[in-house]
Amino acid sequence: MNDEERRQDQDRSPGTDAPDDTGPQGPEADGSAEGAGGEAAPAPAAEEGAGPRARRIALLALVVALFALAAALAAGAGAYLLWRQATVAVAETRAAARGGQERLAATLAKLDERVAQLAAGLDAARAEDAALGQRLQALRESVAELAARERGRDNAWLVAEAEYLLRVANHRLRLAGDRAAALAALRAADGRLREAADPRLIEVREAVAREIAALEAVAVPDLAGLAARISALEGLVPRLPVRGVRPPLRPAAGDGAADRPPVRDLGGFLRAVWADVRDLVRIRRDAEAAEPLLPPDAAYFLRENLRLKLEGARLALLRGDEAAYRELLRTARAWLERHFVADDTAVAAALGELEGLAAAPVRPAWPDISGSLRLLTAQRAAGG
């Protein structure tokens, strides 16, 4: 049965259905039917043909309704099951969330407790660090104080050494004329003052620097060269001829026994004797007064005396005794002029050398280097 036929059956079903409770019942209904006209007579036959069909339709409708109801019930049951599952899942999720929250809360509580413990430990560490810092600062102050005391002691020693070295420099320069030793002592004293690192000693260091510069500017004579010249002159003394010394007898040329003719007779013997006698006696005329002759050993003492004077002059030169040096050179020159042959070339050269040695500068004008010593002594006396 298609839909169109089903609609037609539904359109016809009201006339063939059972009497409705709402319509007129009893004789009134019958009268109304009869009053409707004579055309209403064949209705029972139509009703009889349409009854089974209507029942089938009603049964089909009932089945459809039941299926719809079952479908609705199934849909409701499925929806209920889904709702129930969702509710259970939500409950489980909520329970898990509550458990997670509880665990998280417990973890946070433990973390808070741990943080509190760490904070307490940090505070204790900070307090201990502060105490250690205070003790370290006190220790540093003590070390600094000890270092200052030790530095003060070291500075005192350094200043005392500097003063001693300045005294040595003055002593070597004034008494010995030793410029090299004086410069070395001044530089050593300046080194001690530099190590002291005391600003109050700057003026003393400036004075030391001025004294070093002044001492270096002095032209120092060549004492070693002068001493070498005197030594060379001493070596010339043994060859200088002494005045008035009798020369040793030497046989005349041709007077040897080999040069004489052999004696063969008395006349030859007499001639030989006469020749010997003639060699023993010589007659000489001098315009000047003759000086007494000295024995050869006296010449040795004259030369030795001259050599000792020259040696004394050399030692006085090296000692820095200018007065003794010049006096010994003067006496050596006078001794040479008096007792040696002035006309001899070697004697003349020795006299010229003595004159040059006497004219050479021996002791320069040393500067005053006592200013720094006076400043340092005054500062130490004032407690600096």
Output 132 or 270, whichever has higher pLDDT. Answer: 132
SS3 content of the chain, % helix, strand, coil (to 5): 75, 0, 20
Q: What is the dihedral of CA 361, 324, 317, 231, to 10 degrees?
A: 110
Where is average pLDDT lowest: 7-11, 36-40, 53-57, 155-159?
36-40
Q: Report the distance separating Cα 207 and Cα 182, nearest Å.
A: 15
Tally Cβ neighbours within 10 Å of residue 204.
28
Residue 64 has pLDDT above 50, yes or no: yes
Residue 207 has pLDDT above 90, yes or no: yes
What is the mean pLDDT of the segment spanning 259-270? 65
Cβ contacts of residue 285 below 8 Å, gap of 6+? Answer: none
Residue 18 has pLDDT above 60, yes or no: no
For helices 43-175 and 202-216, the axis angle rounded to 10 degrees is 50
How confident is residue 203, by pLDDT bands cut at 50, 70 and 90? very high
Q: Which two tokens stand for residue 330?
A: 């003067």
CB 299 within 8 A of CB 310: no
Residue 291 has pLDDT above 70, yes or no: no
Q: What percent of the chain has pLDDT over 90?
A: 24
Q: Which two tokens stand for residue 382?
A: 């004032």
pLDDT tens figures, 30-46: 444 344 344 444 445 55
pLDDT tens figures, 139-166: 777 766 655 555 556 688 888 999 999 9
pLDDT of the residue at 171: 92
Average pLDDT, the chain: 78
Each residue of 83-95: b (16+ CB within 10 Å) or e? eeeeeeeeeeeee
pLDDT of the residue at 85: 86
pLDDT of the residue at 231: 92
Q: Report the distance separating Cα 125 and Cα 372, nearest Å.
A: 59
What are the backbone dihedrals phi and psi of residue 254, each rounded to the nearest 5 degrees, phi first? 85, 5
- DSSP notation for 289-321: PPPPPB-HHHHHHHHHHHHHHHHHHHHHHHHT-
Residue 286 has pLDDT above 90, yes or no: no
